[in-house]
């Protein structure tokens, strides 16, 4: 590994800037972590346009490297990749009971599984949203340790009443879905069935009229003869 004496003066000056920048951030970031270009500018001491050009060149080199190193795909790998690219494929579940269900039955607990893409019925989503909102409103220094501490503060404050409110809100959504299903079954489907019966009746009436007209025409032709 090269020692400090083997680096050029320009390179050492850049390294010194990086070292000083990191040392000054031991108590927290001096520039927000999300402002990447500003942080690179402060560390490297080069123009922002130069940073953008270097990032572009780096991405191009990474793309070339990945293209050169990518092995030829085998049929098995290709099939696996295709299956991964189809995340919405319908899943088939085994008819045999799951271990978690068998364990739950020992404690007289029934596990209810949510329909696919119905996160609104999952109370954990409400808790997750609460954690995110609490961190967003109270995170002022943008340090990972602060995010961790804020998350722990919120979770510690989740008492029985707050947890119960999650389930009550979910129950309101559930009742809304039940009301909508009942309306569809009692009103919409009934209306559609009546409409189908009416169309069938109209078709039958049209056929009867056509048959009578045909019989009258035949009778008239016979009388003329």
Q: Is 178 a member of any domain? A: yes
- Please tell me whether residues 53 and 151 are part of one structural domain: no
In a domain, 184, yes or no: yes
Give the domain range for residue 14: 4-67
> Are residues 121 and 211 located together in one domain of the fold?
yes
Q: Structurally, how many domains does the chain consist of? A: 2
Q: Would residue 206 count as lying in a domain?
A: yes
Question: Is 208 a member of any domain?
Answer: yes
3-state secondary structure 166-215: HHHHHHHHHHHHHHHHHHHHHHHHHHHHHHHHHHHHHHHHHHHHHHHHHH
pLDDT, tens digit (0-9, with 9 covering 90-100), for 135-147: 999 988 888 888 9
Pair 118, 61 in one domain: no
For residue 197, pLDDT over 80 is answered with: no
Residue 23 lies in a domain: yes
Q: Are residues 118 and 180 in the same domain?
A: yes
Residue 140 sits at the vertex; the CA angle it makes with 138 and 145, to the nearest 5 degrees, is 85
Structure confidence by residue, pLDDT tens digits, 3-43: 545 778 878 888 888 888 888 888 778 888 778 888 888 88
pTM to 2 decimals? 0.37
Is-contact 147 34, C-beta < 8 A? no
One domain, residues 196 and 118: yes
Token pair 């070292």 is at which residue? Answer: 19
Does residue 96 sit within a domain?
A: no
């Amino acid at each position: 590994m090269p020692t400090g004496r083997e680096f050029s003066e320009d390179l050492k000056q850049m390294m010194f800037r990086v070292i000083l920048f990191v040392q000054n951030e031991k108590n927290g970031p001096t520039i927000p972590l999300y402002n990447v270009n500003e942080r690179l500018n402060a560390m490297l001491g080069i123009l922002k346009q130069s940073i953008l050009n270097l990032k572009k060149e780096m991405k191009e080199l990474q793309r070339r490297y990945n293209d050169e190193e990518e092995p030829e795909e085998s049929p098995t790998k290709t099939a696996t990749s295709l299956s991964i690219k189809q995340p919405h494929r319908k899943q088939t579940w085994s008819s045999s009971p799951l271990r978690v269900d068998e364990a739950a039955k020992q404690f007289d607990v029934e596990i209810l599984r949510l329909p696919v893409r119905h996160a609104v019925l999952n109370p954990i989503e409400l808790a997750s949203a609460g954690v995110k909102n609490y961190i967003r409103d109270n995170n002022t220094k943008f340090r990972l340790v602060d995010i961790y501490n804020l998350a722990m503060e919120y979770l510690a404050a989740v008492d029985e009443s707050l947890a119960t409110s999650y389930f009550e809100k979910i129950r309101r959504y559930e009742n809304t879905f039940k009301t909508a299903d009942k309306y569809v079954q009692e009103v919409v489907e009934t209306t559609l069935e009546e409409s189908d019966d009416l169309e069938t009746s109209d078709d039958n009436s049209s056929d009867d009229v056509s048959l009578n007209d045909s019989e009258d025409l035949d009778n008239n032709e016979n009388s003329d003869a």
